[in-house]
Structure 1
Amino acid sequence: MEYALPTAPNPLTQLGRTLVADTLKLRRTAALWLALGGGALPVLLNLLIFYFKGQYFVKPGTNPWPQYVGMSWQTASVLLLPMFVVLLSGLVVNLENRGGWRQLLVQPVSRGAVFGSKLLLLLGLNAVAQVLYVLLLLAAGALLGWLRSDLGFQNHSISLLPILRMLGHTYLATLGILGVQYAVALAFRGFVGPLTVGIAGIVSALTLLRWEYIDMVPYAAPTRILGMMKSEPQFSAAAALSPAEWYSLAWFALGVLAGYLLLLRRPVTD
């Protein structure tokens, strides 16, 4: 009697199972807490600034929301957001660096499913963090209307469309960093290496902001898109993609390709 070997699950099934397993691994990890709470810091900083010094930023009788949202977005985008993506990428990949790769790569799933699962996880966590940031930002503004009624938050409103546009621009601007850092994290065997590369990239981007080709630097993209936002006379954001976003998408594609090749070459015994 002949017995047929069991057929391997189709690629989508493998990806789904791997994604579920990776999601379960996130419980009680620093990566999950970073994604859920990372957006709170810039919101808290801006809340305190407007609570104690709001009268210096808001002219009497004017709508405080545009200035408030614009300042908070600048605080988040220049340094905190790039550092968040660097930390998130390193933490997610580092979950496997203590023997996890050896166990993971011998499982009956393709390396493409393993790679795609962690990539989707990073993209999802990045999106969740930025959406939570916007929700916290709006909630903190409403709280200021109660704590500092003299600023006038409770008497004015802000259009959601430009905020959603900036959210989309910001997400695209972070993809270049995410793709590069994902590949870098796969190239190293620990957390310190990717963190060092990320910090070096952020510092270099801030140093080269006046360079004519700065749009090509992925770590500068979250800062570069701030030029698409205007806070006066009302909050607005351009709809078209900026050059920095297109370069960010290109870096993302390059990073994904490099990361996939690195994972294909990783030995099972590593």
Structure 2
Amino acid sequence: MMSILKADLLKVKRKWFWLLVFLGPFGVIALQLVNYGVRYDYLMQQEPDVWAGLLDNINMFVAPALLLGMTILASQIAAIEHQQSSWKQLLSLPVQRGYVFLSKLAVAAIMIFISSTLLFIGTVFFGIGLHFGLDIPFLAVIKNSYYPFFAGIPILCLQVWLSVVMQNQAFPLAAGVFGAVFSMTAAFAAPDWIPWKWPLLVGEHDPIWYAVAGMITGSVILIAGLMDFVRREVLT
């Protein structure tokens, strides 16, 4: 498994994928820079707890950015094998087929986790830059940065599954983009059991509920995708 993972990390080493890892959190923070630059006085009046207000504003953009990132990364990681028609050669190696699937998922998950870490760092420095003080609610910032990642694991597993088994990436990309757009209105229009709503961390439940639900549901989708991948004869 580690050998396959190292090989996949080498394949994406010189790709532009890592730029996307940085662009996601940078874009979210940049939007808040504009938001606070234009509406600073209004936002300060709306929320007595300035850090809580900042986290709420950031979270509105985290979900669509996260889901788009998962979609693009999953598609591009799988496209490396599709474009080179190397699935048959890869699966003929003396390795378990399941490890090949898990490695693709692991690479995407590592990238998204790094992006979440950059969001955490960016949030802290942005709040300090707004002169919110050094009494930083680190636990709240951690939840706001990492809970969406765990809550979005079902979407990541689904996108990797679709991207790996489909040579034409139009459908996985379309499904992922639709899910990201849907997540922007899911806070008001969707019930809490819809996975595309979970990264928003809003609803009748505590945010930890969405993170745990994401990990459990993601495990189920992962097992289904893994079984489907292993049973396929040849991927072209």
Question: TM-score normalised to the size of structure 1?
Answer: 0.76
**Equivalent pair of 2:55/2:144 in contact (CA under 8 Å):** no
Pair 1:64 & 2:30 matched: no
Which residue identity is paired with 2:101? F
Distance 2:72 2:27 in 1: 15
Distance 2:155 2:32 in 1: 25
Unaligned runs of 5+ in 1: 1-14, 146-152, 230-237
Pair 1:264 & 2:230 matched: yes
Residues 168/38 of structure 1: CA separation in 2 closer, same or farther (3 Å cut): closer
The 10-residue stretch of structure 1 (39-48 or 245-254) with the greater mean CA deviation from structure 2: 245-254
Partner of 1:40: 26
**Equivalent pair of 1:176/1:247 in contact (CA under 8 Å):** no
Residue of 198, 202, 205 corresponding to 1:221 = 198
Which residue identity is paired with 2:29? V
Partner of 2:136: 158
SS across alignment from 2:152: helix
CA offsets, 1:120-149, max 9 Å, x none?
Answer: 21221111111111111222223333xxxx
Question: TM-score normalised to the size of structure 2?
Answer: 0.86
Partner of 1:80: 65
SS across alignment from 1:121: helix
Post-superposition offset of 1:26: 0.9
Post-superposition offset of 1:217: 1.9
Residue of 77, 94, 103 corresponding to 1:92 = 77
**Identical pairs, percent:** 23
Partner of 1:119: 105
Unaligned runs of 5+ in 2: none
Distance 1:41 1:92 in 2: 22
Residue of 193, 208, 218 corresponding to 1:241 = 208
Partner of 1:150: none
**Equivalent pair of 1:74/1:226 in contact (CA under 8 Å):** no
State the number of aligned residues: 235
Partner of 2:148: 170
Partner of 1:8: none
Q: Which has the higher helix share?
A: 2
Residues 202/44 of structure 1: CA separation in 2 closer, same or farther (3 Å cut): closer
CA offsets, 1:195-215, max 9 Å, x none?
Answer: 112223344555665567x22
SS across alignment from 1:107: coil
SS across alignment from 1:216: coil
Residues 156/269 of structure 1: CA separation in 2 closer, same or farther (3 Å cut): closer
Partner of 2:165: 187
Distance 1:131 1:219 in 2: 21
Distance 1:228 1:67 in 2: 19
- Structural mapping, 1:1-40, within 5 Å: 15-40=1-26
Which residue identity is paired with 2:208? L
Distance 2:67 2:204 in 1: 18
RMSD: 2.7
Q: Point out the structure with max Rg over C-alpha.
A: 1
Distance 1:67 1:211 in 2: 23
